[in-house]
Amino acid sequence: MYDILVIGTGPAGYTSALYSARYNLDVIQVGEMPGGLISEAPEVCNYPGFDSISGMELGDRMEEQVKDIGAEVVYDKVEKIEGDDQDFTVKTSRDEYRAKKVILATGQERRRLGLERENEFKGKGVSYCATCDAAFYEDKRVGIVGGGDAALASALLLSDHAEKVYILYRREEFFRPEPIRVEEIEQEEKIKPVFEVNVKRLIGEDKLEAVELDNSETLEVDGLFIEIGSTPNSDLAEDIGVELSEGGYVKTDEDRRTNIPGVFAAGDVIDSPLKQAITAAGQGAEAASTAYEDLKKEEVR
């Protein structure tokens, strides 16, 4: 039996595992993708220690550090959590693990537009990761749906490859952007913002060829990148009775305990206002520290 099982392999999960291992606890970390959602970030410029680093590289470095200190990392899909404090069983698609404490660091997932043929065109013009797919659109025309910092960062990355980049946004101005991002967008001739529009229809035969907007305009594009935010991966938490917010985020106290004894949570899945890699990492440290304190108290009893 492990002392701590961490579910999730993003900044919160890696930091939880790192701190747990440094407390000399027997820890295993289970997640589906190295780095979690941060691995899709084209560029991370606000993580201490790095002027600029890709999200993928940042995730890789976190993974390497966690493994070097002795934590076990497994890539698998967690399907169910059973049991209670001091004896949880976590079932994955290939195995099952027992642990005294569980830290939920399951993060968020990308929102979809919900359009007809969206799934059909996924990988054939529709993408949710500019970092992964930008190079496929060398000298082509692409659109980005969204108006936040993630959308602007993706637009800048795509402008290094594409002939033309349209930012398609439903509001009349970008949503709380970093001023430096807006300056960079304005200075890049390849990028054209189109405000107060929604994508109404995806057009193409075997692959995406154009998008129809709700202003009756049709744009010929080879690719469409969706950057409209995320939803919390809180189904596992809900299934074991963890209290959620109205938006589906996990509620914790200031020490990252949930209402279920032995279950802690950290990162983008919790009900906190700022969703950043650095805040997720801090919450992961808090969750691991609290779990360690609880384990030590239980040893004394």
* Residue of 129, 149, 268, 294 marked catalytic: 129
* Residue of 133, 149, 222, 268 marked catalytic: 133
Nearest Cα to 242, choosing from 275, 281, 269?
269
Note if 129 is an active site residue: yes
Torsion of CA 254, 260, 261, 263, to 10 degrees: -70
Note if 45 is an active site residue: no
Q: β-strands 199-204, 208-213: how paired?
A: antiparallel
The 3 state secondary structure assigned to 228-272 is: CCEEECCHHHHHCCCCECCCCCECCCCCCECCCCCEEECHHHECC
Nearest Cα to 30, choosing from 20, 43, 17?
17
Q: Which residues of 27-55 are buried (b: 16+ CB within 10 A; e: fewer)?
A: bbbbbbebbbbbbbbbebeebeeeeebbb
* Residue of 132, 160, 214, 255 marked catalytic: 132
- As a whole number of angstroms, the distance between CA 74 and CA 54 comes to 23
Q: Rounded to whole angstroms, what are the CA distances from 137 to 96, 109, 161?
A: 41, 24, 6
Q: Rounded to whole angstroms, what are the CA distances from 5 to 21, 65, 145, 178?
A: 11, 17, 37, 36
In sequence order, which residues have a C-beta less than 8 Å from that of residue 181 and are 6 or more positions away? 149, 152, 153, 156
Coil, helix or strand for 92?
strand
Q: What is the CA radius of gyration of the chain?
A: 21
- What are the tokens at 242? 């963890």
Note if 133 is an active site residue: yes
Positions annotated as catalytic residues are 129, 132-133
